[in-house]
Structure 1
């Protein structure tokens, strides 16, 4: 990132905003926070029954898609007094994961995934999963606020029984913020927009 002297850069996420703002400022830019992602709504109570199922050995596979989501599941388990039980259950369960952040969290727990994607994409994760016999297996999928249609389609085609675990969900972003951002873009009042997730892009383009 260079040549930002005096340029306004919109940040549309909700995480690490202070750090990213400082980065923009260090390059001479002016950060503007316009979250198109919406607030994150924790769903700890929704996780409890799935945590018990994991401990009971109801899943053959666990698919982890984000580092923060994986950490949230473990934190909820700790709150329930089941942290060690969950770690033990994960050690005996086949783990598939996506993304280097998820890999780092899993590694920090001393766990070894059976498979992981090669490039951080769902497409590659599905390709890797397809090399294993999954028909009739029971899988828990940790999601990141919304479903992954292509993964659902693949699992249904493979006749897999699966549960979707949502450590958090995204709430609808403030329409006033979206109105402001659309106006700024159309009137060329900003010189850059940092979009870092699919939900941010979708909310912006579907607004209005």
Structure 2
């Protein structure tokens, strides 16, 4: 795991451009290649739901409120919690093909209560319209709790859907990271990929 760069925190705070009120819109993230100093760079772009490109949606646990790390957007910065930062590092390190991402902590202006409320209403559509969903279980540094999560999530292929996976997690997992919050009782995507650090289960 690369050591988090503090360069973005020295940049001005990123100011979100409001989504258009009369349209159903969402923001997608495009990650730039990882630079040597470890800084995470990305851009944000708003799309109408009727004209969405292909994208991957992320499901993850928020984790503790501290520490936070900076992510650079258009020569400004936002802060994200450590669990999400570890995902972004891992995703870039894996040299994944260029594809848009949807991540609530970045795609939604967390300081805008009205926007947060309206985007929550679209959450089911956001996951259903995605090309795939990644469930990020952590970077694997907390071996026992993460192993339990990973083993539970691997059983997804033997279950009847997201509801079953959620039940597995709720029954089997009680950790300081909290339980999964973003599973729905119906199918949310054609393809779900579970990853724990560098390990994945399809």
Structure-1-length-normalised TM-score: 0.28
Looking at secondary structure, tell me which structure has more strand per residue: 2
Q: Per residue, is there more helix in 1 or in 2? A: 1
Structure 2-normalised TM-score? 0.29
